[in-house]
Copies of this chain bind each other. A is one copy, B any other.
Amino acid sequence: MKKLSFFIIGIFISANLFAQQALFGGQEIVSPEIHEDCSVTFRVQAPDATKVTISGDWMPSQGFTPGSEEMVKDEKGVWTYTSDILSPELYSYTFTVDGFKSTDPNNPFIVRDVSSTMNIFIIGGLQADLYKVNDIPHGTLASRWYDSPGLGIDRKITVYTPPGYETSKEKYPVMYLLHGAGGDEEAWSTLGRAAQILDNLISQGKANPMIVVMPNGNVTQDAAPGAGSDGFYKPQFMAPKTMDGTYEANFMDIVKFVESNYRVKADKANRAIAGLSMGGFHSLHISRYFPNTFDYVGLFSAAIMTREDATGKVYSNFDETLKKQMDNGYKLYWIGIGKEDFLYESNKEFREKLDKMGMKYSYMETGGGHIWKNWRVYLSEFVPLLFR
């Protein structure tokens, strides 16, 4: 150490000094604080505010108005709210301070849902343990670009490869996992916890190792907002041309990319396609339009609805192609929906149609509506059924 003495600088380098860049330091407040009984205390400093509320996705909502609760101010200007005991789940919340709705400055864990940002936390236990990073072997999550000749652009795609992929010589089956309207190639790995769910299910021996491909279903984007050549912009709920057949008609660009760039079992028995909401719509149409390609189909709160067909082909001959898909055979046609989902009735009609034509499917009905909580559960239920 003596030889280093010339280095000694005359001042004590405190963490504060070191943090010259950390312009916007968080207050020394713990929020959220998860108590042993699984109630949660939220805290926020807003000394000059007259009203602060918290809006959390565990609170009962009024239609599309999320529930909220008032926080209480202490003598130091810190507002506090303690929840009831919460059941295991990944939760999200925001604060509203004098009419200003924003994130919790003491919780750096933020996810984006379409154009909104919100803080998250996890109450462990039951299915929520699948959403945690546990001390087990982990797969790799890669952000990659592929060429889509059909769309004429390079596009970003998220690919999960299972633990051991890089060092084994094995070939793997592939699940294509599609996002909903307003989502993109980041949605399933952030809001959906897909990598954690796969790591955990594989580690528990409940799922076969597989590659999970999460593409971007908005054909006018090369990548998620902020991640592509359009730069930073406020995302719209519905990108143009997302449900006009263009994506479905060109989906084989993605399959070809995957099958020529990864060690995969490139046959029907080893291909699954699933998606939530709009991604369920896409999965339904892609698996029917290419009716001998996927042995496993998952429709999570699928958007069953008519759309204008820009290709003139994808949405036509619906009954014939669905019957062809049935006649070609498949292993699993899986439908999940919540009783409060606004798409419940259209899904019911679709199931009645399948019943009538004799097309077998598995069905899971949960509580709740059109929410990520359900889509994480559907993924966790669907994955163990694949490639058996």
Contacts and interface: CB of A to CB of B under 8 A. Distances in A.
Interface of A: 1, 3-9, 13, 15-27, 30, 44-52, 55, 57, 61, 64, 66, 77, 92, 94-95, 97-110, 112-118, 120-122, 132-135, 137-138, 140-145, 154, 156, 163, 166-167, 181-182, 222-223, 225-229, 231-232, 234-235, 237-238, 261, 277, 303-306, 309, 315-320, 341-342, 345-346, 349-350, 353, 369-372
A316 to B, nearest CB: 7
Given A3-B317, A231-B132, A306-B4, A24 B66 contact: yes
Contacts of A22: 113-114, 116, 182, 237
Contacts of A9: 304-305, 345-346, 349
A49 B7 CA distance: 50
Contacts of A116: 22-26, 105, 108
A126 to B, nearest CB: 16
Q: How many copies does the complex hold?
A: 2
Contacts of A108: 112, 115-117, 225-226, 234-235
B7 A349 contact: yes
Contacts of A110: 103, 110, 112, 117
Contact of A141 (B143, B303, B341): B143
A301 to B, nearest CB: 9
17 contacts: A1-B316, A8-B306, A9-B345, A9-B349, A24-B101, A25-B115, A44-B100, A46-B98, A97-B100, A103-B103, A107-B232, A108-B112, A108-B116, A108-B226, A109-B232, A121-B232, A122-B231
Nearest to A5: B306
A341 to B, nearest CB: 7
A71 to B, nearest CB: 11
Contacts of A138: 145, 154, 156
A196 to B, nearest CB: 10
